[in-house]
Amino acid sequence: MSLDGSPKSPANGSQADVDVYLYCLKSLEAEGDAAALALLDPAEIATLQQIKSVTRRVELLHGRAQLRRLLASHAGLSASSIEIVAGPHGKPGAHAVGVPLLPDFNVSHSAQVLAIAIGHGANIGLDIERADPRLTPDLEGIARRQFTQTEYRQIMPQPELERLDCFFRIWTLKEAMLKAVGTGLLLPVNAVDVAGKEDRLLRSIDTGSARILVQASYLRMPRHWHLAVAREGVLGHVRIHRTGSGMWQ
């Protein structure tokens, strides 16, 4: 942050597109585990062995393997050469020996859908969520505690089904933007206000050490699924690539 408290300029202020790849985890799992397991590093394999939840194991195994394949494709490398390392606040980044700069990425999953965003030149954030009706009894309490007053007032007058979708629109935008600044949910979700109906937002987020401009795009997916993509600085076009059938069930 500058001495006068003005927002910090992004490392690359130019507009950049983001590609979002959507996979059905059941389809990836059906292809078998051996090829995916061969791409994980020893630390990831050790973590995998400690996970008891079958769903979480599939998310880690096939999520990390598919991430390496995508990064390798974008960078012209072999997937086995990609190293995934955690940043200062736990947000992962990619490295490869002899390669000065790999694409930026972010990963999200919900139910049986894996989403991976790939971009260049600045931090990006991604969130995908299915609007689960089982959350309905707790929705007002969560919104009251964690959302801003403006967001709360936008959600609660809605009819029940629209209220659930409105809640998840706000949630995905918030999480994508906070992930883009590298804090994830280390900052409270009310650190950014995304109330309104526009699908393209520009916000200044105070991380405590800097005030960062972030632009986000919200996309309503089929069957009450919600997707938000954010980038530090200016977000270009968001291109969606879908692989695998049955992902919206």
Any idea where the domains of the chain sit in the sequence? 16-243
Residue 57, both tokens: 């194991």
CATH number of 16-243: 3.90.470.20
CA quadruple 141, 142, 144, 145: dihedral positive or negative? positive
- Location of structure tokens 């968001």: 238
Question: pLDDT confidence of 249, banded at 50, 70, 90?
Answer: low
Does this model's pTM top 0.85? My answer is yes
CA dist 157 and 150 (Å) reads: 12
- Report percent pLDDT > 90 for the chain: 65
CA dist 65 and 116 (Å) reads: 11
At 71, the amino acid letter reads: L
Q: How much is the pLDDT for 5?
A: 34
* Model confidence at 101: pLDDT above 90: no
DSSP state of 196: S
More confidently predicted of 13 and 227:
227
Question: pLDDT confidence of 4, banded at 50, 70, 90?
Answer: very low
Q: How much is the pLDDT for 85?
A: 87
Task: Say whether 9 sits in a helix, a strand or coil.
Answer: coil
Tell me how far CA of residue 214 lies from CA of 11, 86, 99, 108, 124, in angstroms: 12, 21, 27, 18, 9
Per-residue pLDDT, averaged over 101-129, amounts to 93
CA dist 45 and 84 (Å) reads: 13
Q: How much is the pLDDT for 41?
A: 94
* Model confidence at 201: pLDDT above 60: yes
